[in-house]
Structure formats: C-alpha cells, structure tokens
Amino acid sequence: MIYILNLLLWGIISAKGAPVHDCIGEQCRNIISVPLIDEMKATLKADLDVSKLNSVLHKYILEEVTKAVKVSFDVQMEKAVDEIHGNVTKLMQSDIKTKFDILQDESFKGNTFVRWGRQSCDGTLSSLVYKGYMAGPTHKAQGSGSNYLCLTSNPQAGDVPADWVYSPGLLYGIGWELTGTDRSKSLDHIDDKDVPCAVCLTKGKTTLMIPGRTSCYAEWAKEYTGFLVSSRNEKGFVTTEYVCADEDPEFYGSQNYNHGLIHFVEVKCGSIPCSKYEDKTKLSCVVCSK
C-alpha cells in the first residue's frame, strides 16, 4: 500500500480552481480528478496524471502474480514429486516382495530321483534328501514286489500289531553280482557287496533316465551316469525293473547273503536295430533333470 501511495505522489499534479471543468476527452485518458482544499479552505481540483502509475502498477501486479504462481507451482510440484516418489517406493517394495516370494516358493519345488549305488548326490542341481540301502525281492522269489526301493538308513517303527499280517511280502537287501564275463577289474572291490542308494532332490521340474546314453540331450542337466542293471535273465529268477546304477559305485557291508542280486543288462539286437545297438552290448545310462 505504501508502494502505491508513493506512486501517487509521483503523479503530475495540476491544481486548478473549482470553476474549471473536469478534464474530458482522449487527452485526459490517464488523468484522475481529485478534490483538494487549499490553505484558505477553498475547494480546488487536482488532476493527477496516472499514465506512469498505470504502467508501474501493471508491472508490479504482473510480478506479484508471477511470484504467487511460481510459489504455488513449486509447492504443487514438490507435493507431486513426493507423491510419485512414495508410489514408486511402494511399487518397488511390492515388486521385490513378490519376486522374493516367488524365489522362496521355487526353492521348495523340484523333483526327486534315486541314485543307485551311491550315498551322495553330486549333480549340478541336486541335493541329498536321505541315504540308505537298495532293497527288493530275493532273486528266487515267486511273489511279493518287483520294484527296487531305497530304504532309509534312519528308519522309524510304526505301531502295527504283529498279528495283522499273514504270509507277508518280503524285502531283501540287494547286492552287486558281477561274476563271469560281467566281472571287471575296476569293479572287483564291489562284487558280492551290498548296494547303497541316495534319494536326491533336484531343482528341475522333472527327471529322466535315458538308457544307452552317457550324456543328456540339449537343455537337460546331467545328474549322474552309470550302467543299466536288473535281475538275472534266467529261469527261476524273479523279474525286476531296470535301474541306472552309478558308474562309480560304492558298497556297504562285507558279507555275501545272495538274497537279491543285480546284474549288468545287455542288448539283444534284432527287433532292436543291430545297426544302432551291437548284440550283447552292456548298456550305459544317464539320469537327467530339467
């Protein structure tokens, strides 16, 4: 307000007597008539030239409006930036948590396989669940099961009454049987010894045993390589499944019980193309995961 009063004092004042008519016309566009009283208490009239005042006021108002708009804009921008930063932070935290939950969930997923002939899991994607003993039917069995099991080395007894079962199925430890032409100097130390096993968890979603190969197909990870084994192909011997025994086998125990036995498996070509598989070739195998 003081600033405006100062501007008024800068106006060009023309004091005239009361009888003079008010300034009119285009030449008086920037003139304001103001009544005054002189020392004699006579009524006079002052015509104030406000042409300069108008331009100064216009500049002042423009500066003040610009300043107010800038302050308001800065405040709004700061508020908007803070809001955007808060939203981005929340989104990043939510995204990180989602990814962590997915990774944590994936870490508990996978598939299991048995590594026959070893007590450890050495694959690139696998870890040990438990180790134990290869078990199955006796080689002279007439009934019971035909598949092989990996019995845990830390069993727990269930509360099953002894008189519930009559003529039960029987489970025996399985031993290496590498006699005759099956005997290999590199495997002499395991002949007639019992076969260990390991149950492994792989991060892959599926596992596959491929007979007749020592490497996996593209995009599959190798867990271990070995040789194909089963029960003996002879009259009076029990039929079992084919499994892949590790190429670097281990054993446990020192006594030969000759209960269940596993032997190398050979190819009999004919219906199996002889151009691909030579007759009586012992089959290798590989266990893969993906």
Q: Note the pLDDT of residue 112.
A: 92
Domain ranges of the chain: 2-49, 111-153+170-289
Classify strands 43-49 and 31-37 as parallel, antiparallel or unpaired: antiparallel
Contact 126, 222 (CB under 8 A): no
pTM exceeds 0.75, yes or no: no
- Specify the higher pLDDT residue, 154 or 106: 154
- Specify the higher pLDDT residue, 6 or 43: 43
Task: Give the DSSP H or E segment for 59.
Answer: helix 51-107
**Quick one: pLDDT band at residue 89, thresholds 50, 70, 90?**
confident
Which segments within the chain are labelled E, that is strand? 12-17, 31-37, 43-49, 111-116, 126-136, 149-152, 172-176, 196-202, 207-211, 221-230, 243-246, 260-264, 284-289
Q: Note the pLDDT of residue 15.
A: 39
Q: How many CB atoms lie within 10 A of CB 7?
A: 16
Q: Is residue 242 predicted with pLDDT exceeding 80?
A: yes
